[in-house]
Structure 1
Amino acid sequence: MTCYSRQMRLSASLIKRLKRTAAGASTTRSFTTTEGHRPSIVHKRSIDILHDPWYNKGTAFSMTERDRLDLRGLLPPNVMSSVQQIERFMVDLKRLEVNARDGPSDPNALAKWRILNRLHDRNETMYYKVLIANIEEYAPIVYTPTVGLVCQNYGGLFRRPRGMYFSAADRGEMMSMVYNWPADQVDMIVVTDGSRILGLGDLGVQGIGIAIGKLDLYVAAAGMNPQRVLPVMIDVGTSNERLLKDPLYLGLQEHRLDGEEYLAVIDEFMEAVFTRWPHVIVQFEDFQSKWAFKLLQRYRNTYRMFNDDVQGTAGVAIAGLLGAVRAQGKPMIDFPKMKIVVAGAGSAGIGVLNAARKTMARMLGNNETAFQSARSQFWVVDAQGLITEERAHIDSEALPFARKVKEADRQGLKEGASLVEVVKQVKPDVLLGLSAVGGLFSKEVLEALKGSTSTKPAIFAMSNPTKNAECTPEEAFSTLGENIIFASGSPFQDVDLGNGHIGHCNQGNNMYIFPGIGLGTLLSGSRIISDGMLQAAAECLAAYMTEEEVHGGIIYPSISRIRDITKKVAAAVVKEAIEEDLAEGYREMDARELRKLNQEEIEAYVHDNMWRPEYPTLVFKND
C-alpha cells in the first residue's frame, strides 16, 4: 500500500510506450482517453456560445470556428492563444486586486476571489488553466482560508447560480429535482448542510461556497472533468439567529431540522442522486459533529461516499504524523511508540484519533490486542479538559479514548485537567490541535512542551481558517527554537530564524488527500471507500517526501506539486481497491484488466484519465 517512490516516475519513453496502440506494443496497454482531442458537438451558436462558460473560448476562437458557429463580428478580430489570454488576465488581476483591502492574511484575498469567480462565470477552461498554473497562490483563494470569508459574505457575493440546492421544503420532490441538473454524467458531488463551515459555525445556505471551492480543487488537483462535478447545498434551516433575521439571507429562514426529520431529508437526497447517477462519489463536507459520524456510518457501506472532515483530515494528519516520525530520525514503524496529546474532540479530532489508532494497530499486528494497546498512546483534551472515564455524559465517539482513572492517576492527572497540565505531565512527542480555538496553544502550553521526551517535538495547529489556528509558526519557533516540526491547517509563511536557518511551516491541507481518494475511487470503480483505501492514501503521502526533506523539517510537499501528488495517491488507492477485491473497473478498463496492471501501469492509467484544460474543437449540430 505504500506510494511509489519518486524514483519510480515513468520515463518519457515508457509513457510513449504505454500510449502506443495495442498493435504496436505487445507488452503494455494504452489508457489514453480521447475526450480532450475529439470535437465537441454543441447545439447552440452565436451569442449563446459566448454566454456558455463550458464552451466559451473568448478571443481564442479560430476564424474557422467563428464562421462555423456564427461568431464572426461578435469578437475582436485578433485571434489569441490561450497563453496570451492568461497573460492578459494576469495583468488585469494584478491591477484590480490592489484596490481591495480585505481578507484573512492576504489583504487582497476577496478581491482576487471576485476576479477569479468572474473568469469562472464566463470561461471555465481558461479559469482552470489559470488555477492549475498558479495553484500555490490561488488554492488559498478558492478554498481555505479565503473561502471562509466568501461563505460569511455569500449573500452579497452571489451572482450566477452554481450547483444545486435541496431544501427541507423540497421533501417528496428530490427524485424529480435531480433531473433538473443538465449533465447526464456526474462523477463527484461535494455536499454540505452548512452547519459547521470551517471553524465559523452555522452559516446555513451560504455554506455552498465550501462545496464549490472543494470541487475547484478536485478539477485542478485530480483532473476531474468540471462538467461532471456537482456542488450541493442541503438547506434544512439554520440555527444562526443573525441569518434568521437577515432580510437578504438566501436560505430557509426557519430553525434547523433535527432528529428523524433531518435524516429523512438526507436519505431522500442520497436515494435521488444515486438513482440518477449510480456510480457517483459523494463527499460530505462541514457537517456538524453531531451528524458527521452518524451519516458516515449510515451510508458508507451502501454508497460510494466519504466524509472529508472525518476521513480526509485524518488521512492528512496521519501522513504528517508518520512524516514527523521520519523527521525525528526514526523509521515509520516506530509510530506506535509516539505519545500524542490531542486538543479537540469534534468530528475532525475523533476522526484523526480513530485513524491513528488503526494505523498503530496495523503496525503492531492488526489484531484486537494491538488495537486495544494503541489507545494508550493518546491523551485527549476538550473544552472541559482531559477526558477520562469519570466524565459525565461523555460522547460515545470519544469514549474509546477516555483515559482510565488509574492511568491518569499514574500520570498525576485528574478528570478535566487543563491542556498545560496534560502537556507537562505526559511530555508528548506530538501536540495535535483540532479544536477550532484560535490561540489555544498559548506561550504557557508551548513552554510546557519543552519537557517533551522527544528531541524534536511536533506541533500540529490544524484548525481552519487562519484565525482559528491553535498557534502561529512564529509563536512556536520563538518559544521552542528550531528543533521542532510545525504544521498548520491554513497557509503561513516560513519563519526566518536567522543565521540562514528556516523554520518550515508545513500546511497539512486536506487537498493532499481528498482529490486522490476521489480520483482513485472513480478509476478503480470500487463499490465503497474502505479503511484500507484511506490508509493507502495516507501512507502514500507520508512516503512522498525524501529523507533530506523530512530531516530538514519538511513533512508535506509544496502545493505546486499537487497534480503529481494526487496522481500517486490515486494510484495507491486504485492498487488497494484491487488488492481488496473491491475494484469493478472504469469505462473500458474492467476489473479483470485492472488486475493485470503493474504499479507503473496503474500510475500511467491514472495520469491518462486526468482532465486537462484544453479548448476542444466545437462543431454545431441542430437538435
Structure 2
Amino acid sequence: MPNFSSQLRLSSLLKRFKQRTATIDGARRSFATTEGSRPTIVHKRSLDILHDPWFNKGTAFSMTERDRLDLRGLLPPNVMTSQQQIERFMVDLKRLEVNARDGPSDTNALAMWRILNRLHDRNETMYYKVLIDKIEEYAPIVYTPTVGLVCQNYSGLFRRPRGMYFSAEDRGEMMSMVYNWPADQVDMIVVTDGSRILGLGDLGVQGIGIAIGKLDLYVAAAGINPQRVLPVMIDIGTNNEKLLKNPLYLGLQQHRLDGEEYLSVMDEFMEAVFTRWPHVIVQFEDFQSKWAFKLLQRYRNTYRMFNDDVQGTAGVAIAGLLGAVRAQGRPMIDFPKQKIVVAGAGSAGIGVLNAARKTMARMLGNNESAFDSARRQFWVVDSMGLITEDRKNIDPDAQPFARKIKEVSRQGLMEGANLAEVVKKVKPDVLLGLSAVGGLFSKEVLEALKDSTSTRPAIFAMSNPTKNAECTPDEAFSIVGDHIIFASGSPFNDVTLGNGQVGHCNQGNNMYLFPGIGLGTLLSGARVISDGMLQAAAECLAAYMTEEEVLTGIIYPSISSIRDITKEVAAAVVREAIVEDLAEGYRDMDAREIRKLNQEEIVQYVKNNMWIPNYPNLVYKNE
C-alpha cells in the first residue's frame, strides 16, 4: 500500500495536471469555434494572453475583448483584421526576397524560416493562416528542402521548446513523462530517432525539426487541430562524430543504442503514448533502414501507426508511376507491363518496390503467379550494382527482388552491373531514383535511357533534399529529350524547351498523401492502417489529374490544391476502412453511422472535420 507522503505527492501531481490542462481544454475548444460562435473561456488575462501563442491575436483583439481581458493600453489602438495582419507580416518576407538579389540561397531560406518560426511562437492562428494561404510558397520553407538545413543547424537555432524528447536516459520514466504534455487529447504524433534525416544521415536530436515540419503540414493540409499534434524525438544517442565532439550539441553525447536496448526504448515509448492517448496515430519518420522495416512490422498490427518513408513514399511513387502510364495514353491497368529500373534499396526503395509489386499483382489477379510475374518487372541497383541471386549476404528485404541468373544472362548482364549498363540493356519505361545520391543519373545513364522502348520514358529523381536529387530536370530534358515525364522529390522549376513548350517538373512530395492517410484514419477510427487503405490513397492521388493534364506531362497536382487533394485522399481512406470493416467511428459518429454514408457524404464529413484557423472570441473566467 502506498504511504501517506506518496499519496500526497500523487494528489499534488494530479492537481497540477488538472490546472495545466484546464487552459489547454479552453484552447482545444477555441479552435473548434469561429467568430460569432460560442465564446471560449480562458483563465488568463493581460500580458499572459499576449504571451500565449494559442490565444494571442495581437492587434486583432476587439475593443470589447481588450476591456474584458485587461488588454486596453497594452496594444496599439488600431484594431486590425486578420487579413491586415497578414499583409503587415508579409512585408518582412517580401523585404527579404527583394534583398536576396541572387535568388534563393541557404542563408535566405533559413532567414525566411526564422521569420515564420517567430510568428509560430507568438500567434499560432495567424501562422497557420499564412501557411495555408501561401502553402505552395512556404511548404519548401517549413519542410523540404529547407527543413534539412534547419535540422543541420538546430542546436544553434533552438529558442523555444516545441514537442517532446524521450531519451535513453528516460527508460522506466516514459509512462509518467507523457503526462507532462499538457493536452489531454492528441490526434497525431510524428516521431523520429534522427538516424536518417532526409539524405543527410544521422543528425541525432536535431532531427526534431523533421517532426515539427511534418506536423505543420498536417495542420495546413489536413486540418488537424494544431493543439492535438505532438512532435517527438527519441534520442538514443548518435553515431555522428562531429556532433559527439560539439559541446553545443543538445542531445545525448553517446553512441546509439542497438539491438534489444534500442527496442526496449521504442517499446516503452509506444506503450506510454498509446496508454495516455489510445486513439492517437503515430507516424514514424526518417528512421534508418535497419530499423524502419523492423519497427513497422513490430507495431503495425497492434497500434495505429505507419512509416512515411516506407509507405508514404511508396504511395506517392505509385501514384506517379500510374500517372506516367496515363501520360503515355494508356489505361492504368497497363501498369504491370512497365519495365522499371530502381536505383536504391534502402527503406524508401524497398517500400516502393513492395507497394508497386502489390499493385501490379492485384491488377493481374492477386495470386501467386501474379506476384511472380510482377517481380520480373523490376531491376534493382544499389551501391554495389545490380542485385541478383549471386549476391552474398543479401539484405533480406531486397531478396524478393534479386534477379534470377537466367533472367540476367538473357539481358547480357551479371551480378553487380552498374546502373548505366542495366539501363542500356533493359531499356526501361521508368528510371526510378531513391538512392539519396545526388547526380547518380549521370550523362551516361541518361544517354542510355534514350534507347528506351517506351514512347514516353519517365524519370523519377525522388531523393531529398535538392542536392541529393539523382538529376535535375534540365539535365533530363536536355539529354533524353522533350518527350519524357519528369518527377522529383524536391521542388524544381519547370523547364522551357526549345520548341517553346514547357517541360513539367512534377514534385512527388509525400505531403500529397501522408496528411490524407492520417486524417482518413482518424475520421474512420480504423484500428490499424491497412495496405488497402494506403493503396486507396495512392490510387486516389493518381486519378486526381485530368486526362488533358497528364497528356501534357503533369502527373502530380499543384501544391496550392493540397487542402482539396487531402480531403479526397482522406475520403478514399475512410471508404476503404469501411470496406475492410476496420472503421470504428470518430467522436459523435459511430461505426454504424459512418458505414451508412455514401461517397459524397464521406467527402463532406471529411471537409466538416478539417480545422480552419479562425480567431475565437475569448472570455475570462477566474479558476
TM-score (norm 2): 0.94
**Which residue number corresponds to residue 564 of structure 1?**
564
**Which residue number corresponds to residue 232 of structure 1?**
232
Q: Aligned-pair distance for 1:511?
A: 0.4
Q: Aligned-pair distance for 1:100?
A: 6.5
Counterpart Cα distance in 2 of 1:405 and 1:105: 48
Please state whether the residue corresponding to 2:491 is helix, strand or coil. Answer: coil
Matches for 1:354-503 after TM superposition, within 5 Å: 354-503=354-503
**Which residue number corresponds to residue 254 of structure 2?**
254
Task: Kindly tell me the number of residue pairs found equivalent between the two proteins.
Answer: 591
C-alpha distance 148-104 of structure 1, shift in aligned 2 (>3 A): farther
CA contact (8 A) 2:32 2:611 kept: no
Q: Which 10-residue stretch deviates more, 129-138 or 107-116?
A: 107-116
Q: Which amino acid aligns with 2:589?
A: M
Q: Aligned-pair distance for 1:94?
A: 1.5
**Which residue number corresponds to residue 9 of structure 2?**
none
**Which residue number corresponds to residue 614 of structure 1?**
614
C-alpha distance 481-331 of structure 1, shift in aligned 2 (>3 A): same
**Which residue number corresponds to residue 318 of structure 2?**
318
C-alpha distance 102-482 of structure 1, shift in aligned 2 (>3 A): closer
Higher relative contact order (CA 8 A, sep 6+): 1
Counterpart Cα distance in 1 of 2:179 and 2:541: 38
Counterpart Cα distance in 1 of 2:285 and 2:128: 22
Counterpart Cα distance in 2 of 1:210 and 1:454: 38
Q: Aligned-pair distance for 1:34?
A: 5.3
Q: Aligned-pair distance for 1:599?
A: 0.4
**Which residue number corresponds to residue 112 of structure 1?**
112
**Which residue number corresponds to residue 25 of structure 1?**
none
Please state whether the residue corresponding to 2:341 is helix, strand or coil. Answer: strand
**Which residue number corresponds to residue 18 of structure 1?**
none
Cα distance per residue 1:516-560 (max 9 Å; x no partner): 000000000000000000000000000000000000000000000
Q: Aligned-pair distance for 1:163?
A: 0.3
**Which residue number corresponds to residue 274 of structure 1?**
274
Q: Aligned-pair distance for 1:402?
A: 0.3
CA contact (8 A) 2:379 2:403 kept: yes
**Which residue number corresponds to residue 508 of structure 2?**
508
**Which residue number corresponds to residue 283 of structure 1?**
283
CA contact (8 A) 1:190 1:215 kept: yes
C-alpha distance 281-345 of structure 1, shift in aligned 2 (>3 A): same
Q: Aligned-pair distance for 1:498?
A: 2.9
Counterpart Cα distance in 2 of 1:331 and 1:98: 46
**Which residue number corresponds to residue 24 of structure 1?**
none
CA contact (8 A) 1:98 1:108 kept: no
CA contact (8 A) 2:135 2:559 kept: yes
**Which residue number corresponds to residue 304 of structure 1?**
304
**Which residue number corresponds to residue 160 of structure 1?**
160
Matches for 1:11-50 after TM superposition, within 5 Å: 35-36=33-34, 37-50=37-50
CA contact (8 A) 1:388 1:404 kept: yes
**Which residue number corresponds to residue 135 of structure 1?**
135
Matches for 1:321-360 after TM superposition, within 5 Å: 321-360=321-360
Q: Which amino acid aligns with 1:457?
A: P
Counterpart Cα distance in 2 of 1:542 and 1:384: 33
C-alpha distance 142-64 of structure 1, shift in aligned 2 (>3 A): same
C-alpha distance 502-119 of structure 1, shift in aligned 2 (>3 A): same
CA contact (8 A) 1:103 1:146 kept: no
Q: Aligned-pair distance for 1:500?
A: 2.2
**Which residue number corresponds to residue 582 of structure 1?**
582
**Which residue number corresponds to residue 73 of structure 1?**
73
Cα distance per residue 1:361-388 (max 9 Å; x no partner): 1100111221121100000000000000
C-alpha distance 176-135 of structure 1, shift in aligned 2 (>3 A): same
Q: Which runs of 5+ in 1 are unaligned?
A: 1-32
**Which residue number corresponds to residue 6 of structure 1?**
none
Counterpart Cα distance in 2 of 1:34 and 1:569: 22
Q: Which amino acid aligns with 2:536?
A: A
CA contact (8 A) 1:101 1:107 kept: no
Please state whether the residue corresponding to 1:189 is helix, strand or coil. Answer: strand
Please state whether the residue corresponding to 1:275 is helix, strand or coil. Answer: helix
Q: Aligned-pair distance for 1:583?
A: 0.2
Cα distance per residue 1:98-155 (max 9 Å; x no partner): 5579997566211110000000000000000000000000000000000000000001
TM-score (norm 1): 0.94
**Which residue number corresponds to residue 9 of structure 1?**
none
**Which residue number corresponds to residue 151 of structure 2?**
151
Cα distance per residue 1:463-489 (max 9 Å; x no partner): 000000000000000001211000000
Counterpart Cα distance in 2 of 1:382 and 1:435: 8
Please state whether the residue corresponding to 1:451 is helix, strand or coil. Answer: coil
Please state whether the residue corresponding to 1:41 is helix, strand or coil. Answer: strand
Cα distance per residue 1:340-363 (max 9 Å; x no partner): 000000000000000000000110
Q: Which runs of 5+ in 2 are unaligned?
A: 1-30
CA contact (8 A) 1:195 1:287 kept: yes
Counterpart Cα distance in 1 of 2:272 and 2:410: 54
Q: Aligned-pair distance for 1:35?
A: 3.8
Cα distance per residue 1:49-90 (max 9 Å; x no partner): 111101100000011111111111111111000000000000
Counterpart Cα distance in 1 of 2:532 and 2:137: 33
**Which residue number corresponds to residue 11 of structure 1?**
none
Please state whether the residue corresponding to 1:108 is helix, strand or coil. Answer: helix
CA contact (8 A) 1:103 1:149 kept: no
**Which residue number corresponds to residue 5 of structure 2?**
none
Q: Which 10-residue stretch deviates more, 561-570 or 42-51?
A: 42-51
CA contact (8 A) 1:102 1:110 kept: no
Runs of 4+ in structure 1 displaced over 4 angstroms?
Answer: 97-107
Counterpart Cα distance in 2 of 1:235 and 1:77: 47
C-alpha distance 103-213 of structure 1, shift in aligned 2 (>3 A): farther
Question: In the alignment, does 2:257 pair up with 1:243?
Answer: no
Q: Which amino acid aligns with 2:315?
A: G
Counterpart Cα distance in 1 of 2:224 and 2:349: 29
Q: Which amino acid aligns with 2:153?
A: N
**Which residue number corresponds to residue 573 of structure 1?**
573
Cα distance per residue 1:247-270 (max 9 Å; x no partner): 100000000110000000000000
C-alpha distance 511-552 of structure 1, shift in aligned 2 (>3 A): same
Identity %: 87
Q: Which amino acid aligns with 1:591?
A: A
Cα distance per residue 1:261-309 (max 9 Å; x no partner): 0000000000000000000000000000000000000000000000000
Q: Aligned-pair distance for 1:96?
A: 3.8
Q: Which amino acid aligns with 1:209?
A: G
